[in-house]
Amino acid sequence: MQDHRSPAREFAAFPASGRPLRVVDHDGVVTVEAPGGEAVGFALSRDGGTLRPTSAPPADPAAFRDAMLAALEAVFAWSPERETVAVEAAGCEAGLDVLVASGVLARDDGRLLARADTLMQQPALWLARGDASPFPERFVLTGDRRHPLRRPKPAGVVYARHIPWLGETLTFRTATVEDDLDAFHRWMNDPRVAAFWSESGDLAHHRRYLEGLIADPHMVPMIGAFDGVPFAWFEIYWAKENRLGPFYDADDYDRGWHVAVGEASRRGGASIGAWLPSLVHFMLLDDPRTRRIVGEPAASHVQQIRNLERSGFARLKTFDFPHKRAALVSLSRERFFADRLWLPASSREAAAPAEAASPLPLAGAA
């Protein structure tokens, strides 16, 4: 007898609780499993539009919240074109109230609806520190720049996201001299990276560079990794006190970035479609007061700017740094979530092999 069942679909979620969750769908029977914990079951309608809890909620309300969030993230990832999913609340109304209060679910004509754009603004799903309150606002001076005092720098993994079209997990973690000097040294001496960064040099030079960034309160140096294998160097900065600040009307919480993709195998479109929107996603989640992400690529790098525009960035103007002529690019928080820019720029870009894709090796490079 022929088996007409669909292959199982799997997904991984990384809530702030620190316990990775495995989500499996067998023909509409969705199970969320935690290491050493009880599984939580759901039923997913055939069209993927309705999710219903089928098992008793765990005794720990936080565990049920994490399971529901993981299930919703998986459903939207499996059906990226879907904007809403209805949630049936029979028997677990109390457990869902907290999701209504946090904006994950909204009451609509007697139904509970989850929206993809509001789910993607829930830091507890991707940030290691979860949905901690924004850092209290107090203004300070750095030289002649008045800006909010910044949160102390994090340590370790700060963001994790499962990338379904790659079947891999992308993480960003803060860089350290002890763990990352050798990789940084190798990447900065790669001719393709050196052509944009102009930071080639010996190990002592790169040690000083890393130590300077780690000590700078407005910069967060990070390592990007797929399934734990490092591939890129990122520098996240607060624009107000950055060298970019005087060249435009910087908001107090604007964020910017530089990147060097050190591993050649990760310089193609399929990887870019994962790390670029995820990097923007991280910066927007890290502080809800961040309304805009900015960058300053070399004005002569036409392909780079074209790729940034395809990813949602707008080119605002061209200006002169002391060391280069640059283009100011910007992406608003509203557009990122309203236009679902956490997804790849195109299905072609998501599906194409890395070596065949249009290259964007150094998006946002210094």
The catalytic site residues sit at 296
Specify whether the CB–CB gap between 355 and 268 falls below 8 A: yes
- How far apart (Å, rounded) are the C-alpha atoms in residues 344 and 55? 34
Torsion from C-alpha of 52, 79, 126, 71, nearest 10 degrees: 20
φ/ψ bin of 275: left (φ > 0), alpha (ψ from -120 to 50), beta (otherwise):
alpha
**What single-letter amino acid sits at 240?**
K
- How far apart (Å, rounded) are the C-alpha atoms in residues 296 and 35? 43
Specify whether the CB–CB gap between 134 and 288 falls below 8 A: yes
Rg (CA), the chain: 21
Number of H helices, E strands in the chain: 10, 18
Match 């139904």 to its residue by tokens.
111
Q: DSSP string covering 74-116, please?
A: HHHHHSTT--EEEE--TT-HHHHHHHHHTTSEEEETTEEEEEH
Torsion from C-alpha of 360, 165, 276, 191, nearest 10 degrees: -40
